[in-house]
Each structure stands twice: as C-alpha cells, then as structure tokens.
C-alpha cells in the first residue's frame, strides 16, 4: 500500500517512451498522492486510476466476516480527487461512475500531455469481486 504512485512516477521518469498505468485503491492512493507533483515537475506521462470505494475495503471485508456490522476505522471520507490531481498539476483529471463512461475517459487520459488521473467510483457494498455486503 502506498507504493504504487511513487513507483509509477519513477517508472514513468525512467521509461519515457512507455505508457505507465498505476491502479490504486483510495486508501492506498491517499498515502502518497503528493508524489504526483514530481510527475508534473518533470512533465512525465502517467495515468493513475484511483478506485474509490470510500473505505479500506480489504480490512472492512475482514471486519464484516468476523464481526458483521461492527466496523471500526475503515471508512474514508477522502478528498475531491479530481481537484487534488489538478492542484498537483494534472494534465487531465476526471471522475468515472459507470463502466460505459470508462473507455472514453481512458482515451482522454491516454492523450493527456502530462499526468492524468481517473477517479473510478465503485459500489462500497461490493467489498470483493465475489463478496457483497447486505
């Protein structure tokens, strides 16, 4: 956790001719979002997808499994991710709420001239691909 964004910035700096994609949960992303300022400072191309379910979903899953309904410290209020990316110098940032919106948003991110961020808003009840909270 937290490693993806800085690792992706380093990869994008090192391999400028490649496309670099970072996929991070909201909890993961919030550990080091400021590293994107380095991407902007060096004008590297990089796409970050923040999977925003508003929680530390993996930990919530364990809480719900062992102590159903008794959650503790796993909710994330989170910032405005698009505004945060723009404040760090994003060339492109947008929020995606449906699968149908994704291809065009991804194409826009790919054609950005600097770092791009897509906030993917997902269903908080879907804690894993196969486990759904009631």
Ligand X SMILES: Cc1ncc(C[n+]2csc(CCOP(=O)(O)OP(=O)(O)O)c2C)c(N)n1
Per CB under 6 A, residues contacting ligand X are 1-2, 25-28, 51, 53, 55-59
Comparing CB distances to ligand X, the nearer of 104 and 131 is 131
**What is the bridge-based pairing of β-strands 46-52 and 115-121?**
parallel
Q: How far is the CB of 26 from Mg ion (least distance, A)?
A: 4
Q: Which of 84, 11, 90, 20 has the alpha carbon at shortest distance from 52? A: 84
Q: How far is the CB of 18 from Mg ion (least distance, A)?
A: 27
Backbone angles phi, psi at 96, to 5 degrees: -120, 130
Q: How far is the CB of 16 from ligand X (least distance, A)?
A: 28
Q: Is 33 in the site for Mg ion (CB under 5 A)?
A: no
Helix (H, G, I), strand (E, B) or coil at 99: helix
Q: Is 26 in the site for Mg ion (CB under 5 A)?
A: yes
Burial grade of 58 (CB within 10 A; 0-12, 13-18, 19 or more)? middle
Contacting positions for Mg ion (CB under 5 A): 25-27, 53, 57
């Amino acid at each position: 956790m937290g490693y993806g964004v800085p690792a992706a910035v380093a990869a994008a700096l090192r391999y400028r001719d490649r496309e670099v994609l970072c996929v991070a949960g909201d909890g993961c992303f919030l550990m080091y979002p400021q590293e994107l300022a380095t991407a902007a400072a060096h004008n590297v191309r990089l796409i970050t997808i923040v999977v925003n379910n508003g929680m530390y979903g993996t930990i919530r899953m364990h809480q719900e499994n062992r102590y159903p309904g008794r959650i503790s410290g796993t909710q994330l209020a989170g910032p405005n991710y698009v505004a945060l990316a723009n404040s760090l110098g994003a060339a492109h940032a947008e929020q995606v709420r449906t699968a149908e919106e994704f291809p065009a948003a991804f194409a826009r991110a790919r054609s950005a001239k600097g770092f791009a961020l897509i906030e993917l808003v997902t269903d908080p009840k879907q804690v894993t691909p196969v486990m759904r909270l009631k």
